[in-house]
Amino acid sequence: MKNLWNKVEKSKSTYIALISIVLVFIMPILFNLFNLGRTNRIVWLFFVINVIFSGFIGWFTRKYQLSFFNLAIFPVIFVISVFVKYGRYGYFLAGIYLVLSILLYFLFDNEN
């Protein structure tokens, strides 16, 4: 079991997935617990925090030379949450997150 945990701990893709799950599933619950309204959740979480995280994923994937498919982890998890809980506008946001990640992926080159 310890050997499995070491592999998970070293995987940067796992970190992207775990942070994505926190942002997509846990943060909206926290927004509701602190009585921050729907508008605040949409503006701050969907348009500020998630956009910044999407850009971070593009940069992170390029910096550590991860697979190009890592860029799709966050948008796919977001689409799953939208399918379960939110409105149709979420599908467009997932596309925006993916495009932003791809743009930042190609913005930074491999050489340091």
Quote the pTM value: 0.85
CA distance 77 to 61: 17
pLDDT at position 1 = 56
Tens digit of pLDDT for each residue in 35-68? 888 888 888 988 999 999 999 999 999 998 999 9
pLDDT at position 7 = 59
Confidence label for 109 from pLDDT (cuts 50, 70 and 90): confident
Is residue 31 within 8 Å of residue 40, measured between CB atoms? yes
Confidence label for 100 from pLDDT (cuts 50, 70 and 90): very high
CA distance 45 to 79: 15
Mean pLDDT throughout 93-111? 88
pLDDT surpasses 60 at 103:
yes
Mean pLDDT throughout 6-35? 85
